Amino acid sequence: MVRKVLVANRGEIALRIVRACQELGIGSVAIFSEADRDSTHVRVADEAFCVGPGPVPRSYLNVPNIISAALVSGCDAVHPGYGFLAENARFAEICADHGLKFIGPRPEIITAMGDKATAKRVMAEAGVATTPGTDILASVELAHEAAEQIGYPVLLKATAGGGGKGMRVVERPEEMERAFLGATAEAEASFKDGRVYMEKLIRDPRHIEVQVLADEYGEVVHLGERDCSIQKPSHQKLIEEAGAPNLTERARTRLHEMAVLACRHVGYSNAGTLEFLSSGDDVFFMEMNTRIQVEHPVTEMVYGIDLVKEQIRIASGEPLGYSQTDLEPRGHAIECRINAEDARHNFAPQAGKLGAVLFPGGPGIRIDTHIFSGASVPPYYDSMLAKVIAFANTREQAIARMERALRETLVEGVATTTEMCLEILATEGFRSGVYDIGFLPRLLAQRVG
């Protein structure tokens, strides 16, 4: 087992990883920016190192300071969390060059699967269904040509991306130049990699993803699917659930089989997620995230497996110790993201000092958060403040439990998405489990109308 882990992240996921380390009996070292000096992960970790000022490029993407912090504190492993450097193959290589175990797949796998355009090509080679699309597009002119071939509407996507960053829908040729430049600039700012690719826009599909775990000896298992179709107009997820309601058994089986097939094909190890677009019985591979996901807790709740601990165990060279037949989901879990955003003004991010903060408890409720009463919400980072996770025997019970929990939730000082989540849960569309990724944009449009 690794002895001491540097947690190269902030916020709730940094705290989540520190907690896993502590329960495994291994050391943890936090990093933080000057803006996060009072953050919970800094207080809870065994040690903490400031790596730069508030802006992300100078702190949470400051690779020399992060690696140096790991070395001077005696770490032998680095957990990247999600976002920031989590899918940066060069960072994984640098970790290895300095004798640090990167808790994730090997760098060449990150390059092959984390680079989303390459990943689609590799998946097609493996026999996995993919959406029509292109490789990386080097210019606006090539983007125009590709869109004419594929047929509008198309989607421009950051090859290093995630979370809706660097993504643009292009309906008509005249929108292409602005969308291309906007996507590349946003991708460069967010991931230090401005390359984008294109795929056919499939209207109103469901976003279904499959969680996988693979050890370094070839054992691969899936931990079922998550439905992440409740997305803001910016394509960022807001509510996720495990399993996916009203999925045909044929589609579910294909999703699970393709996820395992894909991992075996590329020799994947550690935790990963394969994202698919689903429409009826059709499923198309979209991209693979070679890291832990924000929404991983819903899978943990229904499978009773701690995914972050599994990541550390796998990185330590331990075999999984179980196979697919040992895994059986139980019950239903829903996650609502409490973001510091004003849902009535296009989810504008909020920053400032929080007032009173009180989260719910009681049976079947899990809260993953780093905030507390009086905490600061810096303007530099992702606006997610907390994840409220409700678990119950049935989906109906989980919805009722989530509604109760959200009504108990108190976050003063900034606008949050709590009320928006309650509004979504109350709709007939969500309650029936018949919804797609256009659900929330349509709901918002109706409200404005």
Partner 1 sequence: MTPEYPTEDAPSARAQRLAEFFVGTPLLRLRIEREEEEFEFVRSSLEPIFGGTPAPALPEPSPERPVETLRADVVGILRFGRNLPTLGEEVGEERELAAIEALGIRTSVRARSAGRLTAILCQDGAAVDYGRALFEIERG
Stretch that binds partner 1, among 13-21, 58-66, 171-179, 309-317 (CB under 8 A): 58-66
List the beta bridge partners of residue 155. 169, 199
State in angstroms the smallest separation of the CB of 64 from partner 1.
6
Given 291, 313, 337, 395, the catalytic residue:
291
Q: Are 30 and 48 in contact (CB under 8 A)?
A: yes
To the query of whether residue 291 is one of the catalytic residues in this protein, the response is yes
Q: Is 73 in the site for partner 1 (CB under 8 A)?
A: yes
- Count of residues touching partner 1 (by CB under 8 A): 17
Is the link from the previous residue into 27 a cis peptide, with omega within 30 of 0?
no
| Binds partner 1 (CB under 8 A): choice among 34, 46, 282, 419 | 34
Nearer to partner 1 by Cβ, of 74 and 321: the residue is 74
Joined together, the tokens standing for residue 305 give: 């497996």
Other CB atoms within 10 Å distance of the CB of residue 355:
13
For the four alpha carbons of 175, 178, 183 and 186, in that order, the dihedral sign comes to: negative
Q: Are 65 and 94 in contact (CB under 8 A)?
A: no
Q: Is 376 in the site for partner 1 (CB under 8 A)?
A: no
Nearer to partner 1 by Cβ, of 64 and 449: the residue is 64
Per-residue interface string for the shown chain with partner 1, residues 237-276, x marking contact by CB under 8 A: ----------------------------------------
Task: Report CA-CA distances (Å) from 214 to 182, 233, 266, 315.
Answer: 36, 33, 11, 10
| Binds partner 1 (CB under 8 A): choice among 11, 52, 166, 364 | 52
Q: Which of 332, 322, 257, 260 is nearest to 301 (CA)?
A: 332
The residue written with tokens 């947690």 in the block is: 7
Is the link from the previous residue into 153 a cis peptide, with omega within 30 of 0?
yes
Q: Is 28 in the site for partner 1 (CB under 8 A)?
A: no
Stretch that binds partner 1, among 64-72, 155-163, 349-357, 436-444 (CB under 8 A): 64-72
Nearer to partner 1 by Cβ, of 38 and 328: the residue is 38
Stretch that binds partner 1, among 59-67, 219-227, 288-296, 335-343 (CB under 8 A): 59-67
| Binds partner 1 (CB under 8 A): choice among 25, 64, 363, 449 | 64
| Binds partner 1 (CB under 8 A): choice among 98, 250, 353, 447 | 98
Q: At what angle do helices 89-97 and 63-72 cross, to 10 degrees?
A: 30
DSSP code for 256: H
| Binds partner 1 (CB under 8 A): choice among 17, 20, 45, 69 | 69
State in angstroms the smallest separation of the CB of 3 from partner 1.
17
Nearer to partner 1 by Cβ, of 34 and 219: the residue is 34
Q: Are 239 and 337 in contact (CB under 8 A)?
A: yes
Q: Are 417 and 183 in contact (CB under 8 A)?
A: no
Task: Report CA-CA distances (Å) from 5 to 26, 42, 81, 438.
Answer: 7, 14, 12, 40
Q: Is 443 in the site for partner 1 (CB under 8 A)?
A: no
Stretch that binds partner 1, among 60-68, 168-176, 368-376, 382-390 (CB under 8 A): 60-68
Task: Report CA-CA distances (Å) from 266 to 113, 384, 400.
Answer: 8, 33, 41
Nearer to partner 1 by Cβ, of 64 and 363: the residue is 64
State in angstroms the smallest separation of the CB of 86 from partner 1.
20
Q: Is 100 in the site for partner 1 (CB under 8 A)?
A: no
| Binds partner 1 (CB under 8 A): choice among 7, 15, 28, 49 | 49
Stretch that binds partner 1, among 51-59, 112-120, 256-264, 337-345 (CB under 8 A): 51-59
Stretch that binds partner 1, among 50-58, 108-116, 147-155, 421-429 (CB under 8 A): 50-58
Q: Are 84 and 61 in contact (CB under 8 A)?
A: yes
Nearer to partner 1 by Cβ, of 9 and 278: the residue is 9
Say if strands 77-79 and 101-102 run parallel, antiparallel, or are unpaired: parallel
Rg (CA), the chain: 21
Helix-strand-coil percent breakdown of the chain, rounded to 5?
40, 25, 35
Q: Which residues bind partner 1 (CB under 8 A)?
A: 34, 49-53, 59, 64-69, 71-73, 98
Supply the residues annotated as catalytic. Answer: 291
